[in-house]
Structure 1
Amino acid sequence: MVNTAKLEALESKLKGFFSPVLAFSGGVDSRFLAHVMHRAEIDFMAVHITGEHVPRAESAKALNWLQTHDIPYQALRLSPLSVPEIAANDKFRCYHCKRLLFSTIKEMAQVNGGEGEQPVIIDGTNASDLGEYRPGLKALEELGIVSPLALCSITKDEVRTLAVATGMEHADQPATPCLLTRFSYGSTPDEQLLQQVEDCEIALKRYGLQNFRVRILDDGSQLLQVSNAEKGVLLKHHEAIEGTLRSAGFEFAKIHCSERISGFYDRK
């Protein structure tokens, strides 16, 4: 059932922001915000961050979506691994990374905005995120970033439902968080290892897997974590998937199916 009241509340809130700048990852949440603003003819700028932590294919899709819909954007490249607090990869990594990303976006918006009232920086945090372990939310609060979906109590499921109802394509898009989330807290991946994981995941998608992660555990062992919903795909292509893992340098990777994929290290 579509909650039209929440959609109307979201549109009203977005129309009230001065010169909004959207942190645009290309995931379903930030795409939905861009879709709603574009549909409501709200003038806004999207900012997409690239770097060694962002899968290249996801960046390409994000930028292509913006271009296809004629949405003004800027792409900024950052290197989170150059920041010691992020490279340390402890349980507060996400806080430090969000500080870096949103400080950069805020500085860019302020420079472009000139003197007077400053643009409002918004992001795609939804109401469901508030119940998860997300240290990055503290950084957003400190920097004054606004999360319209959360403010309107719109959950992840409601984002997808409203996206379908308003005609946004690929509303079932699975989450693809940054590559640093593939590594156990305390491990210190370099750019080459991030690339190795990304290349392996790209290869595995050829078999039809969508909701999965290649993970590097704290003892250096590897794990392919696959959603229970895709167990059939895993069984059908099991030998080929094992071969792909070996070719990618993960010859000893274990394969595990689970109900939830996100937040793996936060539940350990």
Structure 2
Amino acid sequence: MTTTHTPRPDTAPDARPDARPDVLPHILRDMLAAMPELAVALSGGLDSRFLTHAALLAGCRVTALHVTGPHMPPRETAEARRWATSRGAAFITVALDPLTIPAIAAGDRDRCYHCKHAAFTALLAQAAPLPLCDGTNADDLTAHRPGLRALRELAVRSPLAEAGLSKADIRALAARTGMDRPDQAARPCLLTRLAYGMRPDAATLARLAAAEGALEDLGLWDFRLRLAPDAPPRLQIGPAHAERVEPAGDGRRDDLLRVLARHGFGDAAIDTGGPVSGYFDR
């Protein structure tokens, strides 16, 4: 049986862009022009998509490198492939199983550092001899981002951060240069859904990916499904969608709970209204 994936609003197929390379800040355009052929670590999120988009606008030949593994939902890989190839970028997947890395397997607080180090080591090997760039932005430099240490150690370029572009700047520039989905929500890897100290396994990550995909098919995108030891699963729904499940008696919560139950999270609690990013770091 063939199933059809209905994209959530921030992943709908993009319209043809009205390309405006002149809108790019000179510092970013000049930086990219100095790398006429480059590789971009493309997760499929807003920042790495905008970096790819900007590089193509600047006339660069871009190879988009995308990490796959149990920590990455398959539909996000499919969306990244569709987006990159529709824009004329080469698209290459690089397989990585972070569950084989001891610190990640143990749920270490520095798991993001170890994961980034392994991922970008593999990406650098695939990218050579091209320079490898990632989508880190200026806001990331002042946030809790353990993975940035790995990028510095491996000398990965971050043109958006180097140009001083914040997330708000990137959203505005994406819209002005005709890039689709400038309001795309953040979607970090599945390991961030587990509390520190939890030992991840491929089966749990697959259930998380399937459950979150089913929730996206209901029209949600500002949410995370969190797991912690000795506690029920917690579905966090951000402010953008809080009104969809309030008040509790209108049946919409029941729809969410039925989806979660189908994927083994039937005892989940639902939280609404709070920020969904950085939950286990707060």
Q: TM-score, normalised by structure 2?
A: 0.87
1:169 is aligned to 2:187: no
- Aligned-partner Cα distance in 1 for 2:58–2:94: 26
Q: Corresponding residue for 1:15? A: 33
Question: In percent, how many aligned pairs have the same letter?
Answer: 39
- Could you say what secondary structure the match of 2:25 adopts? helix
- Is 1:214 the counterpart of 2:229? The answer is no
The answer for the alignment partner of 1:40 in structure 2 is 58
Is residue 98 from structure 1 mapped to residue 116 from structure 2 by the alignment? yes
Instruction: Give the 5 Å matches for 1:105-144.
Output: 105-110=123-128, 113=129, 119-144=130-155
AA at the equivalent of 1:158: D
Superposition deviation, residue 219 in structure 1? 2.0
- Give the secondary structure class of the aligned counterpart of 2:160: helix
- Map of 1:1-268 to 2, 5 A cutoff? 7-17=25-35, 19-110=37-128, 113=129, 119-235=130-246, 237-267=252-282
**1:167, distance to aligned residue in structure 2 (A):** 0.1
- Say which SS state the counterpart of residue 234 (structure 2) adopts: strand
- Counterpart secondary structure, 2:35: coil
Q: CA deviation at 1:6?
A: 6.5
Q: Which runs of 4+ in 1 moved over 3 A?
A: none
Cα gap change, 1:73 to 1:206, in 2 (>3 Å):
closer
Q: May I ask how many residue pairs the two structures share in their alignment?
A: 257
1:140-183 alpha-carbon deviations (Å, 9 max, x no partner)? 00000111111111011111110000000111111111000000
**Preserved contact between residue 207 and residue 233 of structure 1 (Cα < 8 Å):** no
For 1:217 and 1:231, how far apart are their aligned partners in 2? Answer: 22
Provide closer, same or farther for how the CA distance between residues 6 and 70 of structure 1 changes in structure 2, counting only shifts above 3 A: closer
Cα distance change, pair 64–104 in 1 and its aligned pair in 2 (3 A): same
d(CA) in 2 for partners of 1:84, 1:150: 30
Counterpart contact for 1:18–1:120, Cα < 8 Å: no
Q: What is residue 116 of structure 1 aligned with on the other side? A: none
Q: Residues 265, 162 of structure 1: CA spacing in aligned structure 2 closer, same or farther, 3 A cutoff?
A: same
> How far does residue 18 in structure 1 lie from its aligned partner after superposition?
6.3
Contact residue 6 and residue 154 of structure 1 kept, 8 A:
no
Structure 1 distance, partners of 2:151, 2:227, is 28
* 8 A contact 1:214–1:224 mirrored in 2: yes
Q: Which amino acid aligns with 1:26?
A: G
Q: Secondary structure at the match of 1:20?
A: strand
TM-superposition CA deviations, 1:221-266 (whole Å, max 9, x none): 2100000221122236111112212222112111112431111000
Alpha-carbon distance in 2 for matches of 1:101, 1:162:
28
Q: Which amino acid aligns with 1:218?
A: P
CA distance in 2: counterparts of 1:109 and 1:207, whole angstroms? 37
Identify unmatched segments of 5+ residues in structure 1.
114-118
- Any conservation in 2 of the 1:123–1:145 contact (CA below 8 Å)? yes
Q: Distance in 1 between matches of 2:242 and 2:213?
A: 18
1:85-118 deviation per Cα after TM superposition (whole angstroms, max 9, x unaligned): 22112110000000001001111223xx3xxxxx
Superposition RMSD on alpha carbons, in Å?
Answer: 1.5
